[in-house]
Structure 1
Amino acid sequence: MDFITILPSTRSYNFRLIFSLLSFLLFAMPFKLFAQSEKPNVIFILADQWRADAVGYAGNKDVITPNLDKLAQESLVFENAITVMAVCAPWRASFLTGQYPLTNGVFYNDKPLATEAVTMAKIYKDAGYQTGYIGKWHLNGHAPGEHPFSARDLPVPKERRQGFDYWKVREVSHDYNDSFYFDENDERHVWEGYDAFSQTDSAISYIKKNKKNPFLLVMSWGPPHNPYQTAPEKYKAMYDPAKISLRPNVPENLRDSARQVIAGYYAHITALDKAMGDLLQTLESEGLADNTILVFTSEHGDMLFSKGVLRKQRPWDESIKVPMLLRYPKGISKPRTIANPIDTPDLLPTLLGLSGLKTPKTVEGTDFSAQLKAGNDIDNEAALIMLPVPFHEWQFKNGGREFRGIRTQRYTYVKDLLGPWLFYDNKTDPYQMDNLAGQAEYKELQDSLEKVLKAKLKKTKDDFLPADEYMTKWGYLYDMQDSIRDVNYLNINR
């Protein structure tokens, strides 16, 4: 009788235990799924050759950027976002790896980023993210001995996509109208019309399709990189070259040309601002704005005839300073200005920190996410800038030279192989027209900046060697006539 009496009670207890366990699991599963969806999305919008002063929120009264101006009011505004090397492929490799160019080996355009590199998309993918890339890539490189631009119109092999799965990419093109691209299966398609608009439409579609899963999306626009006069007519009509304001460091004999170029440059920028507005509206309508880390920046700037030259690679602010906005309402509640410099290798670890992901040991940049979330400026005295090998638009014969330098919040200090070359107080001389290098009254300050630069070079194991040393070490060949130089090339324009 005792056994018979106890048995039903035991069965009842076991049933209740099993039921409780099942209930717990069913109850816990949604929380697990909910926690996964709480991972922030990351959208990185990258322009090409957009310099820091070419936005309304920076005080530029000529350029029309209403959407970026509004975004700036909701974002961290990086006043001194510095490009470690002001040219396309090296910036991209540094951004994706968090490494300096002499570490990952991409210090020259159209040289390949190693297939086995530890990169942004691989890290996020391992953390459960969907990964997508749209637009210009410029990291596939070309085979040794082939024409330096031979791979620019070819598909990027799957193993060279660095962890990005969704893929609508052109290796390199500066034709922004009806340009072609390749998809995940290497099939060729056309971005109809102005390609930045079609690329943004693809990004919007990607966002909508992946909104229930955490995703990383990089969209890389080609403009406002030259050619300057190929923006849609609607946007070109917004700018009268005669009314364009110029920086005082544009030589008098080039001012008419500068106004023509800058009017076209601004037309591209206003077109991109429209595309940015479309993307921002999508994030709002899809309910994704709060939990999305949105970054807008550029690879490098453009001299636009300041100091009488065009394009990039130079160590002046028009070349090395870029616009940068970061909005993440859920993680950073206080929009504000970040005054201290942030360098290209710092971007990846900072994004990983904001995403709650661990930074791999291969990364050389600094994670500033804790300071950003705490409402502080970043603790960074100086950003390192460099040009290990001059090439293409700033070849040796065009005055190009190897340099290393630093950009602090206030000062620029640069050395070439002969020693101190440039030294500016950017507070009193914002257009960098008075070179203080070697002036006796500034010796103590120059010496202190020299110590900061030496510490940066020591930390990055950079011996600051002549260009040929790096080309030999990595087995690279100079493209076309890049290696031709006058025996006194370092003294040009000294």
Structure 2
Amino acid sequence: MMLKLFEIRLHVAAAVITLASLCSAVAEQRPNLLFVFADQWRGQATGYAGDPNLLGKTPHLDRLAKEGVNLVNAVSTMPVCTPYRASLLTGQYALSHGLFMNDAPLNPELTTIGKVYKAAGYDTAYVGKWHIDGHGRSAYIPEERRHGFDYWKVLECTHNYNNNSAYYAGNDLKKKKWEGYDAIAQTRDMQRYIIEHAQTQKPFMAVLSWGAPHDPYNTAPAKYKKQFPVSKIQLRPNVPAANAKRARKDLAGYYAHIIALDECLGDLMATLDEAGIRDNTILVFTSDHGDMLYSHSEQRKQQPYDESTRVPLLVRYPARCDGREIDMPIGSPDIMPTLLGLSSLPIPEGVEGSDYSRVLTGESEPSNDAALIECITPFGSWHRGNGGREYRGLRTRQYTYARDLKGPWLLFDNKKDPYQTTNLVDSPDAEPVLKKLDAMLTQKLAERSDEFMPGEAYIKKWGYKVDGRGTIPYIK
């Protein structure tokens, strides 16, 4: 009897071991996802992209660009905070999810990336800036408006990066504060999350959203700022001389934020290595939009120039993707379905972006010829009184084309004119290209059922109330 009982125990133990092995194999087939993005980091501002001020100063980004897929023509489809974030979460364009201005609320009933990963059995986490709740920039965000993210250390929006940077943790109604420079504190928190979850069999999907290098520019810790003397800053050739002094001052601070974040990214990469999950983790680095920083005498974002629309987009997934550059244009709504594709998860109904996961893995050729760029209605720093206007446009491998309500507005050959100093829209020689791009744009708008109406029509449709600068007033 004792012998039979011993044999039963052996069989049970073997079954448990076999089940554990099967679970482990399944877990290995389901990659983790660590999505890291900054605020207002333009695509040109890295060492690997050739910024002379950052050569040798973004070593971790440079390494990630070599080890992963570098999407060199990635654009922020609507280059401003809230619209990008809503497109990232939903895989939809702004006219579908309705967030084409800052401080509008995202419908909590929409299918979002956090909900999809959670339903697939992932642990989900979000740390940092949110900016799609629309109930006040310092307001507590209840669980039903967190779009599937369980681990939660978030504030709607702040750009106070030092000591007073607040957040809410989980369901605690009392605000907490990040110690020191908030991006470093947020990174440390994410490192702890990664280490804890690497010890389990359950995959995680985690988002880290930094507030920098968005202005205020000169607020990075001193050890980073001292590396960029204002007098040594090299300007892009499209910064007019009249703006040079202010541009150098702001850029010195901007670059200081950038190298601080590069160091944070390096810490995250080291943690993935130490936890033994590097190969089975999709690591993404990107930004919600760029920053003009006085190129063409302009500031901030929303505009169709490359400084505003182009963003870094690096994707490392050693188990399936080799390191290489891809010049295919890709837009904000494409990120969600592409990540789901890399994770072997189904694309939900209602997603409008394209799944380019097979392009990233090398199983399909880069086929997309153009990514949409747009401004549904100008607001904030780029209000109508400051030259703001509605536009729809395209970013291709070679050209940027934008049409406003009056017709063709901008056309740049980015290969011959990388600083976009010569508008070809009225050039007879460029007329064939202009007609081709205009026809492509018309087709894309038809696919989106976008009638390209004045911004006021969309403001009225969605019931938004705006101030004199076309901005939704917000509560701090």
TM over 0.5: yes
Query: What is the one-letter code of the residue matched to 2:339?
Result: L
- The answer for the alignment partner of 1:258 in structure 2 is 247
2-structure distance, mates of 1:294, 1:280: 9
Q: Secondary structure of 1:133's match?
A: strand
1-structure distance, mates of 2:393, 2:113: 27
- The answer for the alignment partner of 2:167 in structure 1 is 181
Offset of residue 377 of structure 1: 5.1
Query: What is the one-letter code of the residue matched to 2:146?
Result: R
2-structure distance, mates of 1:374, 1:111: 38
- The answer for the alignment partner of 2:324 in structure 1 is 336
> In the comparison of the two structures, how many residue pairs are matched?
462
Query: What is the one-letter code of the residue matched to 2:179?
Result: E
Spell out the pairing of 1:364-403 with structure 2 (5 A cutoff). Answer: 364-374=352-362, 378-403=366-391
1:349-408 CA-to-partner distances (Å, cap 9, x unmatched) read 000000010000111000011122126552110000110110111111111000000000
2-structure distance, mates of 1:25, 1:463: 61
- The answer for the alignment partner of 1:471 in structure 2 is 459
Asked whether the 8 Å contact 1:341–1:382 carries over to 2, the reply is yes
Q: Give structure 1 stretches of 5+ with no counterpart.
A: 1-14, 143-150, 484-494
Q: Provide the TM-score with structure 1 as the length reference.
A: 0.90
Offset of residue 23 of structure 1: 7.8
Offset of residue 26 of structure 1: 3.7
Of 47, 71, 74, the match for 2:67: 74
2-structure distance, mates of 1:450, 1:336: 31
- The answer for the alignment partner of 2:474 in structure 1 is none
Asked whether the 8 Å contact 1:155–1:182 carries over to 2, the reply is yes
Query: What is the one-letter code of the residue matched to 2:105?
Result: P
Offset of residue 240 of structure 1: 1.1
2-structure distance, mates of 1:69, 1:376: 26
Offset of residue 187 of structure 1: 2.9
2-structure distance, mates of 1:355, 1:249: 41
1-structure distance, mates of 2:237, 2:88: 32
Offset of residue 288 of structure 1: 1.1
Offset of residue 73 of structure 1: 1.3
Asked whether the 8 Å contact 1:77–1:337 carries over to 2, the reply is yes
Query: What is the one-letter code of the residue matched to 2:21?
Result: F
Spell out the pairing of 1:68-217 with structure 2 (5 A cutoff). Answer: 68-142=61-135, 151-178=136-163, 179-185=165-171, 186-211=173-198, 212=200, 213-217=202-206
1:58 is aligned to 2:43: no
Asked whether the 8 Å contact 1:228–1:264 carries over to 2, the reply is yes
Offset of residue 325 of structure 1: 0.7
2-structure distance, mates of 1:218, 1:27: 33
1-structure distance, mates of 2:240, 2:364: 40
1-structure distance, mates of 2:75, 2:23: 39
Offset of residue 31 of structure 1: 3.3
1:167-212 CA-to-partner distances (Å, cap 9, x unmatched) read 0001000100011110111331110100000000110011111112
2-structure distance, mates of 1:180, 1:436: 47
Of 286, 291, 302, the match for 1:297: 286
Q: Provide the TM-score with structure 2 as the length reference.
A: 0.94
Offset of residue 439 of structure 1: 2.1
Of 19, 41, 45, the match for 2:36: 45
1-structure distance, mates of 2:53, 2:253: 12
Asked whether the 8 Å contact 1:339–1:377 carries over to 2, the reply is no
Asked whether the 8 Å contact 2:384–2:469 carries over to 1, the reply is no
Query: What is the one-letter code of the residue matched to 1:183?
Result: A
1-structure distance, mates of 2:265, 2:12: 47
Offset of residue 20 of structure 1: 11
2-structure distance, mates of 1:58, 1:234: 24
Query: What is the one-letter code of the residue matched to 2:271?
Result: T
1-structure distance, mates of 2:179, 2:273: 26
Change in Cα spacing, 1:231 to 1:476, as seen in structure 2 (3 Å) is same
Spell out the pairing of 1:5-24 with structure 2 (5 A cutoff). Answer: none
Spell out the pairing of 1:324-473 with structure 2 (5 A cutoff). Answer: 324-332=313-321, 334-374=322-362, 378-473=366-461
Asked whether the 8 Å contact 1:36–1:214 carries over to 2, the reply is no
2-structure distance, mates of 1:413, 1:327: 30
1:121-177 CA-to-partner distances (Å, cap 9, x unmatched) read 0000000000000000001013xxxxxxxx101111111111000000010001000
Offset of residue 480 of structure 1: 4.5
Asked whether the 8 Å contact 1:340–1:377 carries over to 2, the reply is no
2-structure distance, mates of 1:375, 1:101: 30
Spell out the pairing of 1:226-241 with structure 2 (5 A cutoff). Answer: 226-241=215-230
Q: Give structure 2 stretches of 5+ with no counterpart.
A: 472-476
1:53-99 CA-to-partner distances (Å, cap 9, x unmatched) read 11001112212211111111111111111001000000000011000
2-structure distance, mates of 1:114, 1:407: 29
Offset of residue 478 of structure 1: 1.2
Query: What is the one-letter code of the residue matched to 1:199?
Result: Q
Query: What is the one-letter code of the residue matched to 1:341?
Result: P
- The answer for the alignment partner of 2:236 in structure 1 is 247
Q: Secondary structure of 2:126's match?
A: strand
1:34 is aligned to 2:24: yes
Identity of aligned residues (%): 50
- The answer for the alignment partner of 1:12 in structure 2 is none
1-structure distance, mates of 2:441, 2:430: 16
Asked whether the 8 Å contact 1:89–1:107 carries over to 2, the reply is yes
1-structure distance, mates of 2:244, 2:13: 75
